[in-house]
Structure 1
Amino acid sequence: MSSHGSCCYDSDEDADFSIPADVPKGCMAVIVGSSEKKRRRFVVGTHLLTNPVFGVLLQRAAEEYGYRNSGALEIPCDPVLFEHFLWLLSNDDPAAAMLEVNDLMAFYS
């Protein structure tokens, strides 16, 4: 399991992708990956909801899946790329502000 800040981690536990019972307060479960690729569950801080990079990922999720999903939030992004985003954001790397998220996602697709 990888650690990314106080409550960000990768969880490969349940294959059915249900929300884990141990999600800490202030965190949420997200499922990252497309149906064709391996999907991974991450638990991330809800503070990411206001981050511009995460906002682009949420917009892509809305375009791909719509707003009718119940359960964990699904992000159509390569899990390795998502882990890289988390690392940049958790380390306050200035490169995160200059990311062209859509270009990177196209590269990883």
Structure 2
Amino acid sequence: MARLRGFRIGRKKLARFFKWIARPRRKPARLCSMDHPGKSFNSISRILDMARCLQRGAKALCFPNSDPGYIRLGHAKPMEVPKGHMAVYVGQPDGDTRRELVPVIYFNHPLFGELLKGSERVYGYNHPGGITIPCGYSEFEKIFIRFQWF
């Protein structure tokens, strides 16, 4: 017995496919000249359109885009810090931390000085990594909003 090549299509799927080909199509709403009739929508042209569609899909599967639109875990480029800002990590020591960009001007503010003193108490001066502020993110947001009022 000869080997079958390709893939099997069930009767229901095959019937649905042929119904899709044979169904009447609506013409797009556009201005048509009476001298030049529009594209005919017979079954053969629908089969050819379907073949072109399958061909485009096969090309997309075999030759994917060079930029797939997603970033793999661990391969994300670190966000560059703009001039006049510093990256600060905000969060509890045992919990989740978030990276925030803070303008350098705010480091002289007394409220931010209190946050830095709290960081010194928890981590000390020899803390590896960036500046980490041990407070909840909501507290940091409240203080950051106060900075913007001044």
Quickly name the TM-score band, shorter chain normalised. Answer: 0.5 to 0.7
Confirm or deny that 1:39 pairs with 2:97.
Answer: yes
Structure 1 runs (4+) deviating above 2 angstroms are 35-38
Q: How many residues align?
A: 75
| CA distance in structure 2 between the aligned counterparts of 1:28 and 1:69, rounded to whole angstroms | 17
TM-score scaled by length of structure 2:
0.46
Confirm or deny that 1:24 pairs with 2:82.
Answer: yes
Report the secondary structure of 1:41's partner residue.
Answer: strand
Q: Which runs of 5+ in 2 are unaligned?
A: 1-72
Instruction: Report deviation, 1:36.
Output: 2.6
Deviations 1:45-86 (A, max 9, x none): 011111000000000101100011243210011111101110
Structure 1 partner of 2:146: 88
Q: Which runs of 5+ in 1 are unaligned?
A: 1-14, 93-109
Confirm or deny that 1:59 pairs with 2:117.
Answer: yes
Report the secondary structure of 1:44's partner residue.
Answer: strand
Residue type of the partner of 1:22?
A: E
Report the secondary structure of 1:82's partner residue.
Answer: helix
TM-score scaled by length of structure 1:
0.62
Larger Rg: 2
| CA distance in structure 2 between the aligned counterparts of 1:35 and 1:64, rounded to whole angstroms | 9
Higher strand share: 1
Higher relative contact order (CA 8 A, sep 6+): 1
- Cα-Cα RMSD: 2.0
Structure 1 partner of 2:59: none
| CA distance in structure 2 between the aligned counterparts of 1:30 and 1:59, rounded to whole angstroms | 14
Report the secondary structure of 2:81's partner residue.
Answer: coil
